[in-house]
């Protein structure tokens, strides 16, 4: 792979919602995930030397700058404040330097519609966008599937564990069934009949993704047969969801989302604020609502039978003081523009 002369590259990466199957996907069950029209934009510009300068306007920590040099990362504010926002960037840079066998400086600028930890795939999108933009200024042409694998490795480097679901969702776009069995992730795109009227509500983050995953693992260590049955039930819900989505039966999809939420709640990954958002959405007219992502705070996704009803539900939730908005599924995943 040769080194090119590109001066600047801009990567645009969608977010995602998990319609069915989170947590169980860690234990070999399938999940259904959809790319959505919330975006992370990562701009990489060539910089003399080998240091990487990173600036974020609005991701997790506002207006933070950091520099990655031979001695590690140096932040313009306290490291504990900025580390979460930038660790995915630096790990993504490391992954690209490994495959390119090249160390080149870059100025990285990040903008995001989504906060880190919202359950909308922000961390995966930051990692994927950094991989895409930085590799482009090195003259590498990487397809979305390769970028998804590299972003997954970056997530692993930061979190210590990752199913790869989020990285593939944001890189590939569309509505997909993902399944990680025997350490191999498979992705199959679903054909949807018309739009899915979806909305999301943001709730306060009480614990990171790793803690939510550990919570389920600890519960499974105490009640292995019970938790395995719950995971198997979630997998069965996903299988029904595949048929339901492809047939366009929104009412049944909503019911499956509701059942899935009950099982996730029983695994201990919900919060009082998430429960309030879930049931407020249903009372307002949503036909399905559930946790999306790892839980322990973050986002709730809800489904309505029409766009008009979605607007009504959003209005009700916002009038209750909740941060709520409509989202739309997108067919295209990560994209890169060379400047």
DSSP 112: E
> Is the sign of the CA dihedral 160, 180, 328, 14 positive or negative?
positive
Q: Which residues contact 146 (CB under 8 A, 6 or more apart)?
A: none
Q: CA nearest 158: which of 73, 273, 64, 53?
A: 73
Backbone angles phi, psi at 2, to 5 degrees: -90, 165
For strands 64-69 and 184-189, give the pairing: unpaired
For strands 52-56 and 64-69, give the pairing: antiparallel
Q: CA nearest 14: which of 331, 299, 297, 324?
A: 331
Cite the DSSP H helix spans in the chain.
79-100, 122-137, 144-159, 165-172, 209-222, 224-247, 250-266, 272-284, 307-319
Q: Which of 166, 225, 228, 240 is catalytic?
A: 166
C-alpha to C-alpha distance for 70 and 225, rounded to whole angstroms? 48
**Is 50 assigned a catalytic role?**
no
What's the Rg (C-alpha) of the chain?
Answer: 20
CA distances from 296 to 20, 214, 218, 256, 321 (A): 17, 11, 15, 21, 20
Provide the annotated active-site residues: 166
């Amino acid at each position: 792979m040769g080194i090119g002369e590109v001066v600047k590259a801009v990567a645009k990466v969608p977010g995602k919602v998990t319609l069915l199957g989170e947590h169980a996907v860690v234990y070999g069950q399938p999940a259904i995930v959809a790319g959505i029209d919330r975006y992370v934009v990562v701009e990489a510009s060539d910089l003399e030397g080998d240091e990487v300068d990173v600036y974020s306007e609005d991701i997790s920590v506002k207006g933070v700058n950091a520099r990655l040099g031979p001695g590690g990362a140096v932040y313009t504010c306290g490291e504990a404040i900025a580390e979460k926002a930038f660790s995915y960037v630096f790990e993504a840079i490391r992954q690209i330097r490994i495959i390119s066998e090249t160390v080149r400086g870059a100025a990285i600028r990040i903008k995001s519609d989504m906060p880190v930890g919202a359950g909308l795939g922000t961390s995966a999108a930051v990692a994927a966008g950094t991989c895409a933009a930085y590799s482009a200024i090195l003259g590498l042409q990487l397809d979305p599937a390769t970028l998804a694998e590299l972003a997954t490795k970056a997530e692993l480097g930061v979190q210590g564990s990752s199913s790869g679901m989020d990285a593939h969702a944001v890189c590939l776009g569309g509505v997909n069934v993902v399944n990680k069995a025997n350490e191999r992730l498979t992705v199959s795109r679903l054909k949807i009949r018309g739009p899915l009227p979806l909305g999301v509500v943001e709730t306060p983050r009480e614990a990171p993704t790793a803690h939510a995953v550990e919570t389920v693992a600890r519960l499974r260590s105490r009640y292995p047969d019970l938790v395995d049955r719950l995971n198997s039930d979630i997998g069965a819900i996903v299988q029904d969801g595949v048929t339901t989505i492809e047939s366009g039966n929104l009412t049944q999809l909503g019911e499956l989302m509701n059942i899935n939420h009950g099982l996730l709640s029983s695994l201990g990954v919900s919060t009082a604020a998430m429960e309030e958002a879930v049931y407020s959405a249903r009372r307002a007219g949503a036909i399905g609502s559930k946790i999306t992502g790892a839980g322990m705070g973050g986002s709730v996704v809800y489904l309505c039978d029409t766009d008009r009803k979605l607007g009504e539900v959003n209005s009700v939730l916002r009038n209750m003081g909740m941060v709520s908005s409509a989202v739309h599924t997108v067919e295209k995943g990560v994209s890169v523009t060379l400047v």
